[in-house]
Amino acid sequence: MSEAPRQYAVQRTIGRTWTTLDLRPRREEATALFAETVRTRPRHVLRLIQVDFKPGSTCGEFDWLLLDLYDPRKLGLVPDLAPEAPGSVSGPLPGSLPGSLPRSLPEPVPGRGRQPTRRRGREAVRTPWALYAGFFALGAAAVAAAWLAVLARAGG
pLDDT per residue as tens digits for the range 78-103: 655 554 545 444 444 444 444 444 44
Residue 123: predicted pLDDT: 72
**Average pLDDT of the chain, as a whole number:** 77
What lies within 8 Å, CB to CB, of 73 at 6+ separation is 45, 79, 80, 103
pLDDT at 29 over 50: yes
- Rounded Cα–Cα distance for residues 53 and 7 (Å): 8
What lies within 8 Å, CB to CB, of 26 at 6+ separation is 8
- Cα Rg of the chain (Å, integer): 27
Residue 138: predicted pLDDT: 96
Mean pLDDT along residues 32-43:
92
Residue 119: predicted pLDDT: 58
Residue 101: predicted pLDDT: 45
pLDDT at 26 over 70: yes
Residue 105 has phi, psi (to 5 degrees) of: -75, 150
Extents of the domains making up the chain: 6-75
pLDDT at 63 over 70: yes
Q: Output the pTM of the full model.
A: 0.47
